[in-house]
Chains A and B, each alone.
Chain A
C-alpha cells in the first residue's frame, strides 16, 4: 500500500469513507510531515496543531455515524492561504501590518469546506498582500521550492504550492489575482485552477485587486481541484459579484476529448519562451490530439497590453483596498507621542507595509489622482474591455486555449526580488486571463533540463470549468506526473 502522503486527495477521501484510514491517523500523518519538512520549505505561517487534532477526533466520531457520507471531505486536512479569513486563526496576508489580527469570521469558501468536513491544518505563506510572483516578499521570509530549495516556489500563493508539492497536506487554498495560483502550481509541479470571475465567493478574501481575483484550489491533481471547486463554487449572498450560475459536477470529467477544438494562441509562445519549457507543452498537446482533439492557431494581439493594464488596475484598486490598514482598529499600530492621527497613520503604514506594497499603493494613488484618472485608470479599463473581447472572440472559434503558464521555470531565490520590472514580466502569460475573467487551470506537463516542473494552462470559456478540469484530468491520467514527488518530500 502506498504511503498516505502519496495518495491524492480524491483517494484519501475514499480511504476515509471506507475506513482504510481515519481522520486522526491522517491528521497525525500530515502534522508529522509538516514538522519534518517545514524547517526546509517554510511554506506555512501558522500550524493549527492542537485544534486540527481536536477537529480530527470529532471527525472520527462523526465518521461512525450514518450521516458521514454527507460530509464529502470529512477529516481531510486543508491548508489556507494567509489572506483568506479563518475564524479564530491568524490571517495576516504575510504582512507586519496585520500582526496579531485574528478574524471573527470564516471566508464563505472556508466555511463551505469546513461544513463539508475539511479541517484547517495551517495557513500558508505568500507575498505580502499577494503582491509578488515568488513568495519572497513575505514578512515571514521566503518559501523554498521543494524541487530545489534554492529556487522560489512562485507566487503569490507559493506557500500553498510548495506545501502541496511537499505533501504537507492533500489540498490547499490560494488566490489568483494575476496568476497567483497558476504560477506556484507551475513552478511546484502541481495543479491549480483560477475559476471564472464570480464563480467563487470572495467574501473573506482580503482584497488586493477586487475586480480581478478569485479564491482558487491547488492540489496534486486536477481531479482534486475539481472535488474542491464543487464545494467552493456558487452564488454567495455576501458577495454581490458572485454569479448565480449552476455548479457542474466537475469531478465527473469529460466522456471524451473527441472533436474538442483547442486554440493555440501564438502570443503565448513568445520569443523568451525557453525550449525546454516548450517541449513538454508540445508533447502534452500531442497527447490531447491523440485523444481526438484538434488544434488551431488563434491570435490575441491585444494581450501585449496586458501587463500595464493589469498593473494599473490592480494598483489602483489596491491603493484603496489597503487604506483601511491604519492601526486604529486592529493589527499593528505605531504610536506617535503627541502626534495626531495622520502621524499615527503614516508611521504605522510606513513600518507595517513592505517596500513592494508601498510601491503599489503609491503608484495606485498617483494613477487615481485628479488629472491622471482618465489618462490611466479609465484608459486601462478600456484596454481591458478590448482584451476581454478578443478572448471572447477567440473562444467563439475554439473550446479552450492552451499555452504555457509561465515563460520560464522557477528561478533562484534572490535573483529578481530587487528588480520589480523583471518580476512583473513573470506574469505576462497569467494576467491576461484575469483581465478577461475566464477560468484557467495550470497542470504539470513535465520538467525542464534542470529537472524543474513545467506547467501548462488550459483556458476555457466563462463558467466552463467542467471542460477545463476534464481536459486536465484526462491529461494527468495519461501522464501520471503527480506520482513523481520532489526529492525533499519523497
Chain B
C-alpha cells in the first residue's frame, strides 16, 4: 500500500497567451478582433494558407513578446528564427504551424525567465524554459463532447492570431499553485497591456503532470485558468488511483474534455507525433539589436510587484490588501479610481475585497465585466459615513450597483433609508420582546448576556437592515 505522503507530483505548464491587444494577425493584415464574428469571415488568402501566399511578420507582435520576456526576466535573443511545426489537423490551414523551436538550431525569442508569487506567507519562484511566438490555429467546435459529436465544425477566424507560449520548468507542485501562478502571470500580462485575458480562449494551457518515479502525461486543451485546476485535479486523481492499484502510468497525451470533466487519451508514446521541425524558409532570421531591447524596456509600464509596494506606501493599506487588489489589473485600476474620490483607502479595499469580490467570484466575473463604477462605490461609502444608510443597507446595494444602479437612486426608489425614528423603533422593539419573552427573561436574569445582540439582530431583520443599530440598542436597554 502506498501512502499519500509518497505521492510527489511535479507540474509543468505551457501557457498560450493570445496577444489580443494587437490590431492585426501575426502574418497578415486581418483584424485579430475575431470574437463574436460570423465563422470564417475574418480571413484572407494569407491566413487561409492559399497556395502561393507568404507570411509577413507583424513587428508589434515581436515587441509584445519582448515586453513579456523582459517582464519575466527572460533573455531576449539577438537572432531568432521561425520554424515550421508540421502536423495534419483540420484547424490548420497549411497543415503546419509557424512557431519557434529551441532544438535543431532553432532560437526562440526569449530563453529562460522566472516568476515569483506568494504562496501563503512564503514566496515561490517558477522558472521558464522559453517564451516563443507562434500562430494560433483555427477553432474546432464539437457538438457537445468530443467523443460523441457527429461533426467537427471548423472556424478559421482565430487562425493566424499571435500567441506567446510560455513554457515553464516542471516546478509546480499542486493545482492550487498552478492557479496562483497563472493569476500572477495574468496580472503581469494585463499590466503590460498586451492582452485582455478576460476574453474567451485568450489564455490556454497544456500541462505536464508526473508523479515521482512514474511516466509523464501531457494534458492538452485546457481552455482557461479556471479549467486548469479542474483538469489537474482530475488527472492527478486518475494517476494516483492507477499507482495505488499497482498499474503503470502510460506516457501519453490526453485531452481535457471540458464538458464531461475528464481527460481522455489522445495518443501514446508509440504514436507520438513527430513534428518534423525545420526553419521556415519564407521568413528571414530576425535580428534584435541591443538598442531595440533598450527601446522596448523604455515602454515597460508599472508591473504588479511595484504596484503592490506603491499601494502599501501610498494608500497605507496592509500588504495583504495590496496583493489581493493587484492580483487583477482591473480591480487595482478600479481601486485607484475610487480612492481618488474617497479619502479612506482602507475602507474602499475592505468593501472591494469583501462583499464586492464575493459576488464577483460567485458569478466568475472580473470587476470590469460588470457595470459597477468607482463613483457608485464612493457614493455608497459617503452615504454610510454621513449616516444616510447603514452598513447593512450598503451590503444590499452591492448587487444593484453591479447592475449599474447608483446607490442614491436605489435608496430613494426602494425607500431603504436608515430608520432613526425612536418611537417607530420602540414599537418594533415591543414586538421583538413579546415574540422572544423567554430570551428577554434570560437576559434580565443575567443568564445569557450574548442574547442582547440576538435581539438587536431581530430588530434589524424586522426593519430589513434599515434600523440605526445604536438607536436599536438604546431602545432595548430602555425596555429592559
Q: Which of A299-342 contact B (CB under 8 A)?
A: 316-317, 319-320, 323-326, 328-330, 341-342
Q: Which of B237-291 contact A (CB under 8 A)?
A: 274, 276-278, 281-284
Contact B276 A365 (CB under 8 A): yes
Contact B95 A373 (CB under 8 A): no
Contact A378 B276 (CB under 8 A): no
- Is A21 interfacial (CB 8 A cutoff)? no
Shortest beta-carbon contacts, A-B, top 6: A323-B95, A368-B276, A210-B281, A206-B51, A211-B281, A204-B52
Contact A316 B278 (CB under 8 A): yes
Identify which of B50, B86, B154, B283 contacts A323 (C-beta below 8 A). B86
- Highest count of chain B CB atoms <10 Å: which of A83, A93, A107, A329: A329
Q: Which of B117-172 contact A (CB under 8 A)?
A: 152, 154
- Is A54 interfacial (CB 8 A cutoff)? no
Give the segment of B54-62, B356-364, B368-376, B468-476 that binds chain A: B54-62
Provide the bound-state CA to CA distance between A105 and B45, in Å: 8
Contacts A240-B283, A323-B86; is A93 near B104 (CB within 8 Å)? no
Contact B88 A103 (CB under 8 A): no
Contacts A326-B88, A345-B88; is A373 near B104 (CB within 8 Å)? yes
- In the complex, chain B residues whose CB is within 8 Å of the CB of A316: 278
Contact A341 B152 (CB under 8 A): yes
Closest approach, in angstroms, between the C-beta of B118 and any C-beta of chain A?
41
Q: A98-B51, A369-B276 are in contact. List 18 more A-B contacts (CB 8 A).
A: A85-B50, A91-B52, A103-B45, A104-B50, A202-B52, A203-B52, A240-B57, A240-B283, A241-B54, A241-B281, A317-B278, A323-B88, A324-B51, A328-B154, A368-B276, A370-B274, A373-B278, A378-B104
Contacts A85-B52, A203-B54, A370-B274; is A378 near B105 (CB within 8 Å)? yes
Provide the bound-state CA to CA distance between A373 and B103, in Å: 11
Q: Which of A198-216 contact B (CB under 8 A)?
A: 202-207, 209-211
- Is B48 interfacial (CB 8 A cutoff)? yes
Contact A103 B56 (CB under 8 A): no
Contact B283 A328 (CB under 8 A): no
Q: Which of A364-423 contact B (CB under 8 A)?
A: 365, 368-370, 373-374, 377-378
- Is A425 interfacial (CB 8 A cutoff)? no
- Is A238 interfacial (CB 8 A cutoff)? yes
Provide the bound-state CA to CA distance between A377 and B279, in Å: 10
- Is B49 interfacial (CB 8 A cutoff)? yes
- Is B84 interfacial (CB 8 A cutoff)? yes
Query: Interface 1/0s, chain A 28-55, versus B by CB < 8 A?
Result: 0000000000000000000000000000
Provide the bound-state CA to CA distance between A209 and B90, in Å: 24
- In the complex, chain B residues whose CB is within 8 Å of the CB of A319: 86, 276
Identify which of A324, A369, A377 contacts B49 (C-beta below 8 A). A324
Identify which of A93, A237, A238, A369 contacts B51 (C-beta below 8 A). A93
Contact A203 B53 (CB under 8 A): yes
Contact A241 B284 (CB under 8 A): yes
Contact A104 B278 (CB under 8 A): no
Which positions in A face B, CB cutoff 8 Å?
A: 83-85, 91, 93, 98, 101, 103-105, 107, 202-207, 209-211, 237-241, 316-317, 319-320, 323-326, 328-330, 341-342, 345, 365, 368-370, 373-374, 377-378
Identify which of A104, A209, A211 contacts B45 (C-beta below 8 A). A104
Provide the bound-state CA to CA distance between A324 and B282, in Å: 15
Which B residue's beta carbon lies closest to that of A204? Answer: B52
Contact B48 A329 (CB under 8 A): yes
Identify which of A84, A98, A323, A368 contacts B278 (C-beta below 8 A). A368
Closest approach, in angstroms, between the C-beta of A456 and any C-beta of chain B?
30
Closest approach, in angstroms, between the C-beta of A72 and any C-beta of chain B?
25
Contact B56 A374 (CB under 8 A): no
Contact B54 A239 (CB under 8 A): yes
- Is B224 interfacial (CB 8 A cutoff)? no
16 contacts between A and B (CB under 8 A): A85-B51, A93-B51, A103-B51, A105-B53, A207-B51, A211-B281, A238-B56, A239-B54, A240-B282, A323-B86, A323-B94, A324-B94, A345-B88, A370-B276, A374-B104, A377-B278
Identify which of B50, B277, B282 contacts A103 (C-beta below 8 A). B50
Q: Which of B34-74 contact A (CB under 8 A)?
A: 45, 48-57
- In the complex, chain B residues whose CB is within 8 Å of the CB of A105: 45, 50, 53
Provide the bound-state CA to CA distance between A374 and B45, in Å: 34
Provide the bound-state CA to CA distance between A210 and B96, in Å: 15
Contact B96 A241 (CB under 8 A): no
- Is B93 interfacial (CB 8 A cutoff)? yes
- In the complex, chain A residues whose CB is within 8 Å of the CB of B278: 316-317, 320, 368, 373, 377
Identify which of A84, A325, A345, A369 contacts B52 (C-beta below 8 A). A84
Contact B51 A202 (CB under 8 A): no
Contact B45 A341 (CB under 8 A): no
Identify which of B48, B50, B152, B282 contacts A241 (C-beta below 8 A). B282
Contacts A104-B45, A210-B281, A241-B282; is A330 near B50 (CB within 8 Å)? yes
- In the complex, chain B residues whose CB is within 8 Å of the CB of A326: 88, 95
Provide the bound-state CA to CA distance between A241 and B280, in Å: 11
Provide the bound-state CA to CA distance between A205 and B53, in Å: 8
Closest approach, in angstroms, between the C-beta of B47 and any C-beta of chain A?
12
Contact B52 A205 (CB under 8 A): yes
Which A residue's beta carbon lies closest to that of B94? Answer: A324
Provide the bound-state CA to CA distance between A360 and B86, in Å: 16
Closest approach, in angstroms, between the C-beta of A362 and any C-beta of chain B?
13
Closest approach, in angstroms, between the C-beta of A437 and any C-beta of chain B?
12
Contacts A202-B54, A211-B281; is A373 near B49 (CB within 8 Å)? no
Contact B51 A91 (CB under 8 A): yes
Provide the bound-state CA to CA distance between A320 and B279, in Å: 11
- In the complex, chain B residues whose CB is within 8 Å of the CB of A317: 278, 281
Which A residue's beta carbon lies closest to that of B286? Answer: A240
Provide the bound-state CA to CA distance between A325 and B54, in Å: 16
- In the complex, chain A residues whose CB is within 8 Å of the CB of B93: 324, 329
Which A residue's beta carbon lies closest to that of B156? Answer: A329
Provide the bound-state CA to CA distance between A317 and B94, in Å: 13
- In the complex, chain B residues whose CB is within 8 Å of the CB of A83: 52
- In the complex, chain A residues whose CB is within 8 Å of the CB of B94: 323-324
Provide the bound-state CA to CA distance between A187 and B277, in Å: 38
Provide the bound-state CA to CA distance between A237 and B94, in Å: 21
- Highest count of chain A CB atoms <10 Å: which of B51, B277, B281, B282: B51
Contacts A211-B281, A316-B278, A329-B93; is A368 near B86 (CB within 8 Å)? yes
- In the complex, chain A residues whose CB is within 8 Å of the CB of B283: 240-241
- In the complex, chain A residues whose CB is within 8 Å of the CB of B274: 369-370
- In the complex, chain A residues whose CB is within 8 Å of the CB of B57: 240
Closest approach, in angstroms, between the C-beta of A90 and any C-beta of chain B?
12
Which A residue's beta carbon lies closest to that of B27? Answer: A240
Q: Which of B292-320 contact A (CB under 8 A)?
A: none
Which B residue's beta carbon lies closest to that of A365? Answer: B276
Closest approach, in angstroms, between the C-beta of A371 and any C-beta of chain B?
9
Identify which of B55, B95, B284 contacts A324 (C-beta below 8 A). B95
Provide the bound-state CA to CA distance between A370 and B103, in Å: 11
- In the complex, chain A residues whose CB is within 8 Å of the CB of B90: 328, 341
Provide the bound-state CA to CA distance between A204 and B105, in Å: 29
Provide the bound-state CA to CA distance between A319 and B45, in Å: 21
Closest approach, in angstroms, between the C-beta of A18 and any C-beta of chain B?
37
- In the complex, chain A residues whose CB is within 8 Å of the CB of B152: 341
Which A residue's beta carbon lies closest to that of B89? Answer: A341
Provide the bound-state CA to CA distance between A168 and B360, in Å: 74
Which B residue's beta carbon lies closest to that of A212? Answer: B281
- In the complex, chain B residues whose CB is within 8 Å of the CB of A370: 274, 276
Provide the bound-state CA to CA distance between A238 and B244, in Å: 58
- In the complex, chain B residues whose CB is within 8 Å of the CB of A203: 52-54
- In the complex, chain A residues whose CB is within 8 Å of the CB of B45: 103-105
Contact B276 A373 (CB under 8 A): yes
Provide the bound-state CA to CA distance between A427 and B269, in Å: 41
Provide the bound-state CA to CA distance between A329 and B95, in Å: 12
- In the complex, chain B residues whose CB is within 8 Å of the CB of A238: 54, 56
Provide the bound-state CA to CA distance between A444 and B104, in Å: 44
Provide the bound-state CA to CA distance between A370 and B278, in Å: 11
Provide the bound-state CA to CA distance between A239 and B377, in Å: 54
Contact B56 A237 (CB under 8 A): yes
